[in-house]
Structure 1
Amino acid sequence: MPDGAVQLEVFPTCLHLRRIDSARNMRRFYRLSIQRDLFGGVSLVRVWGRIGTRGRQLVEAHDDEGQAITALMKLAQEKRRRGYEP
């Protein structure tokens, strides 16, 4: 690669989605990220809630990064069907 060039990731490791509907007073976010833990494992961290709040958090442990990315992609597809957008 030439100097200064940035290689984009093929599979996302962090995704931030929003769903805003003013008519229903709905302003929500959903954040998915893949993180390594101290023991060499991989976790999918899900944070969701109303925009402007800390939200709720759920951490799912996975055996490897491939499984975590698959779970992230599946959740992202489900949330997009429900109206969340990047």
Structure 2
Amino acid sequence: MTRQDPSRNMARFYVVSLAPTLFGEVSLVRNWGRIGSRGQMMVETFPTADAALEASDRLARVKRRKGYHSPCPTGQVPAATI
């Protein structure tokens, strides 16, 4: 997801992905920052894939309300896979 506003010199990105852990849990990996930079990363672990997917959807809704949009031409975010 990206959010850009040239009048405010704002160019941000936000990426959410799911990754399995070695112990059967699922990690929600968030990466955000200014476009062109490496940004920051945060990892949150959930006991099930459903819980991680629910948290991912919740974060995406919050970011869309704040003005972020998907860079996909269709406007739809591809389904997360584990």
TM range (shorter): 0.7 to 0.9
Instruction: Name the counterpart of 2:10.
Output: 26
Q: Aligned-pair distance for 1:57?
A: 0.3
Q: Aligned-pair distance for 1:39?
A: 1.5
Equivalent position to 1:64, from 43, 48, 54: 48
Partner AA of 2:42 in structure 1? L
Equivalent position to 1:75, from 48, 59, 73: 59
- TM-score relative to the length of structure 1: 0.80
Say which SS state the counterpart of residue 64 (structure 2) adopts: helix
Q: Distance in 2 between matches of 1:50 and 1:30?
A: 9
Q: Distance in 1 between matches of 2:49 and 2:19?
A: 9
The gaps in structure 1 that reach 5 residues or longer are 1-16
Q: Distance in 1 between matches of 2:34 and 2:21?
A: 27
Q: Distance in 2 between matches of 1:44 and 1:61?
A: 6
- TM-score relative to the length of structure 2: 0.84
The gaps in structure 2 that reach 5 residues or longer are 71-82
**Percent of aligned pairs with the same amino acid:** 50
Q: Supply the RMSD in Å over aligned alpha carbons.
A: 0.5
After superposing on structure 2, the runs of 4+ consecutive aligned residues of structure 1 that deviate more than 6 Å are: none
- The structure number with the bigger radius of gyration is 1
Q: Distance in 2 between matches of 1:72 and 1:48?
A: 14
